[in-house]
């Protein structure tokens, strides 16, 4: 199941409708960047997930920070995670950015991704991109019907490699892949994993030019060969092949607002009154460690620098249309974009382009032993970034109520 279809449909429900972007409608120049949620804007809309296919033009999106070998142990790590709402693309400021709810869980030297009642959950994204590599995550999933945990690779043009777990099945991981967002439900396969909520397992994606392997605890559960994805109609390989971010998430697939098909796939409707919502007060998944090992780029890749990946075409977005460059990947203002990347530079005093999340320590009976209260403070404040998709400026069309008001005023 594609996580981003669900997020996109959720965004469509807003009364104040943003300008939408898709295969039949590109973004306007004043809001040139098409976000991964299908909305036009500036700032954060032009960073991770900015889709050059549906933006004003392919240069509207910022360059993608190049891969860097990374080992992240998530012990007391929350304060190091960047807030996606204020992140402006400086990957040197931190390896990860998030929207939603995070908390340290010191008993297991891990980070919890949480989902309180009636929320849309949490997404943790790498600030750098991987263009082929080996990525592993040591983690525990969440549980219960309708609760979905995910560990995926996702590119700006919607190439995708998935590990997903539905909470009603704790002994299997669903593997899947997509090419440029094309839906094909025949690609899903299961791999075995024992009691994924109670036990730590190491899940691995080994992504190479010629094949993809999904592993559980070092054992290969599935192999996909690029040659098997050849599309004789389009004469191309429908194989994930463009630079991608690592994303780990927890989301309510069984929410009542979703389609019947999504709810059924997620194991049924989510129970927002389950015991988890009373103690500890939220659904959660546990992330202990992530390793990213970068492979060399394809031998045919153009090398015009060494700091970022950039698309080189506005009509084709395959691996041969990606170059290594020194193009700018950081913005200086939420008003900026790839069309005006230096906008706000004269007013930038920190040169960091981002704000870090803060964390506090205390004890609370509503939290699991060893957990930080920072997460509960986020819930109680009602200001968590889970309700916001991108930091930046979004151009809105008049909502339904606004149009109705205008019509009535003319009648009167």
pLDDT tens, position by position, 193-226? 999 999 999 999 999 999 999 999 999 999 999 9
- Domain borders along the chain are 3-400
Run of H or E residues at 247: strand 244-252
* Residue 204 annotated in active site: no
For the stretch 375-388, pLDDT in tens is: 333 333 333 333 33
Asked if pLDDT for residue 16 goes beyond 90, the answer is no
Predicted local confidence at residue 346, as pLDDT: 83
Catalytic residue among 164, 180, 204, 289: 164
Q: Characterise 89 by phi-psi region: left (phi > 0), alpha (psi -120 to 50), beta (else).
A: left
Residue 9 has a pLDDT of 52
Distance from C-alpha of 281 to C-alpha of 287, rounded to nearest angstrom: 18
Q: Which range among 146-155, 160-169, 340-349 shows the weakest confidence by mean pLDDT?
A: 340-349
8-22, 44-58, 179-193, 383-397: range with lowest mean pLDDT: 383-397
Distance CA 288, CA 330 (A): 29
Position 189 scores a pLDDT of: 98
Average pLDDT over residues 263-292: 98
Place 2 in a pLDDT band, splitting at 50, 70 and 90: low
Burial class, 78, CB count within 10 angstroms (exposed 0-12 / middle 13-18 / buried 19+): buried
Annotated catalytic residue 164:
yes
The span from the CA of 99 to the CA of 97, in Å, is 7
What are the residues whose beta carbons fall under 8 Å from the beta carbon of 105, sequence distance 6 or more?
111, 112, 286, 368, 370, 371, 372
C-alpha span between 370 and 160 (Å, rounded): 35
- Cβ-contact 34, 192 below 8 angstroms: no
Neighbours of 378 (CB within 10 A): 20
The predicted structure's pLDDT at residue 168 = 97
Residue 8 — pLDDT band, cuts 50, 70, 90? low
Distance CA 164, CA 203 (A): 11
* CATH 2.60.120.200 holds for 3-400: yes
Predicted pLDDT of residue 282:
98
Comparison of pLDDT for 7 and 127, the residue scoring more: 127
In the chain the first and final C-alpha atoms are separated, in Å, by 49
Phi-psi label, residue 118: left if phi above 0, alpha if psi -120 to 50, beta otherwise: left
> What pLDDT does residue 185 have?
84
- CA-CA distances (angstroms) from residue 364 to 79, 128, 149, 375? 19, 35, 26, 11
Helix (H, G, I), strand (E, B) or coil at 341: coil
Which is catalytic among the residues 106, 108, 109, 160? 160
pTM: predicted TM-score of the whole model, two decimal places: 0.85
């Amino acid at each position: 199941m594609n996580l981003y279809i669900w997020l996109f449909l959720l965004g469509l429900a807003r009364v104040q409708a943003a300008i939408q972007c898709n295969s039949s409608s590109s973004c306007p120049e004043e809001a040139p960047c098409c976000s991964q949620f299908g909305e036009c804007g500036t700032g954060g809309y032009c960073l991770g997930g900015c889709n050059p296919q549906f933006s004003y033009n392919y240069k509207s999106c910022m360059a993608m920070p190049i891969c860097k070998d990374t080992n992240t142990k998530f012990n007391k790590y929350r304060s190091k995670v960047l807030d996606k709402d204020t992140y402006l693309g400086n990957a040197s400021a931190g390896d990860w950015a998030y929207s939603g709810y995070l908390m340290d869980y010191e008993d297991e030297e891990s980070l919890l991704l949480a989902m309180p009642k009636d929320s849309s959950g949490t997404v943790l994204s790498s600030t750098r991109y991987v263009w082929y590599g080996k990525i592993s995550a040591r983690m525990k999933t969440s549980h219960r019907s309708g609760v979905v945990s995910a560990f995926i690779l996702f590119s700006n043009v919607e190439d995708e490699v998935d590990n997903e777990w539905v909470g009603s099945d704790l002994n299997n991981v669903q593997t899947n892949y997509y090419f440029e967002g094309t839906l094909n439900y025949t690609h899903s396969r299961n791999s075995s994993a024992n009691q994924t909520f109670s036990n730590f397992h190491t899940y691995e994606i080994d992504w190479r030019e010629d094949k993809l392997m999904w592993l559980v605890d070092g054992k290969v559960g599935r192999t996909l060969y690029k040659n098997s994805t050849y599309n004789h109609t389009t004469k191309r390989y429908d194989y994930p092949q463009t630079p991608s971010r690592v994303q780990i998430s927890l989301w309510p697939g069984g929410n009542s607002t979703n389609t019947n098909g999504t709810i059924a796939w997620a194991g049924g409707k989510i129970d927002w009154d389950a015991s988890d919502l009373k103690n500890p007060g939220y659904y959660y998944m546990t992330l202990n460690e992530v390793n990213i090992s970068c492979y060399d780029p394809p031998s045919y890749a153009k090398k015009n620098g060494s700091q970022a990946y950039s698309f080189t075409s506005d009509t084709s977005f395959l691996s041969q249309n990606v170059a290594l460059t020194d193009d700018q990947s950081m913005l200086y203002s939420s008003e900026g974009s790839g069309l005006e990347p230096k906008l706000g530079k004269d007013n930038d005093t920190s040169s960091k382009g981002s704000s870090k999340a803060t964390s506090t320590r205390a004890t609370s009976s509503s939290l699991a032993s060893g957990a930080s209260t920072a997460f509960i403070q986020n819930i109680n404040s009602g200001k968590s970034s889970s309700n916001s998709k991108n930091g930046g400026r979004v151009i809105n069309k008049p909502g339904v109520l606004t149009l109705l008001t205008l019509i009535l005023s003319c009648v009167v």
